[in-house]
Amino acid sequence: MNNAMDRTEDFGTLYHPKSALVFYESKGLDKDMYVEHFDMDKNGTPINAHPLTEREAGVLAKALTTEKQKQSAFLKPVGILPTNILHINPSRDKGAVIWYTKSQKRPLYFIEGLGIPSGQGFVPAMVWQATKNSLRVFALLSNRRPTEKTLLYYAPFFNIYEDGRVCMGSVSIDIKNSASVEEFTRAWEDYFFNSYFSHLMGENSPVKGNCVTLWKDLVTSDRTFPTALLKSSNKTLKNLLS
């Protein structure tokens, strides 16, 4: 998939050098520590050397505490856990979330070669499974909250492998270690729907019939997604939990 728009301004913050610390240690058995604080000029050059003050030490301690809190906030909800969240592994290294979305109208982008106009179209209810670096998607027959026994269907889109993995192509993924579960799921949905669909993965259509014809019809009409065209993946939600 290719980026549909430049969203780099949303992915990070530009930081400028403001100050620097130099730690000095005396020689001998009874080591003594001295900390010198430097301000930075507009070119990033250290100036105005002086002993670290109590106030400056407090600011540093607060900054370090805030960063520690951010690192431990990964995949925690901002408030009450959203009802569409089905499973969370909050590990910073292997963190993953499974959630579902109801059928709704979404922006859809297609490369010119497919002959499908980009626009708004209804998509089916979906199950999403994501880590910081990868995404799998499946479709559902209804908007009901799925259970472990709920049957999953192939997601009726381009750029998706048979096992549900999404080929993100040139899309640059940047999920922060401090992302809440709401930020995490919203970011992945934005990555998916704000990117261009370009080609089918494999020889088989993910729907009953022609996938190109289906999306031509949906983006040029106000029709709800025809769930009768979904194809079973022979997987249930429980398979994603194992």
Distance CA 161, CA 156 (A): 11
Q: Position of tokens 């058995």?
A: 29
Of 233 and 26, more confident: 233
HEC sequence for 121-142: EEECCEEEEECCCCEEEEECCC
- Neighbouring C-beta atoms of residue 184, cutoff 10 Å: 23
Asked whether 197 and 157 are in contact (CB, 8 A), the reply is yes
Read off the pLDDT band of 43 (50, 70, 90): confident
> Tens of pLDDT along 98-132?
999 999 999 999 999 999 999 999 999 999 999 99
Read off the pLDDT band of 51 (50, 70, 90): confident
Q: What is the mean pLDDT of the chain?
A: 85
Whether the per-residue pLDDT at 95 is higher than 70: the answer is yes
Q: What is the mean pLDDT of residues 208-214?
A: 96
Strands 135-139 and 96-101 turn out to be unpaired
Q: Which letter does DSSP use for residue 63 in this model?
A: H
Q: What is the mean pLDDT of residues 60-68?
A: 54
Distance CA 158, CA 51 (A): 61
**How confident is the model at residue 5, as a pLDDT?**
53
Read off the pLDDT band of 92 (50, 70, 90): low
Beta bridge partners, 237, equal none
**How confident is the model at residue 9, as a pLDDT?**
47
**How confident is the model at residue 31, as a pLDDT?**
67
CA dist list (Å): 217 to 115, 119, 157, 166, 224: 12, 11, 14, 23, 11
Please give the backbone phi and psi of residue 113, each rounded to the nearest 5 degrees, phi first: -65, -20
Whether the per-residue pLDDT at 8 is higher than 50: the answer is no
The dihedral through the CA atoms of 165, 170, 176, 180 has a sign that is negative
Of 34 and 114, more confident: 114
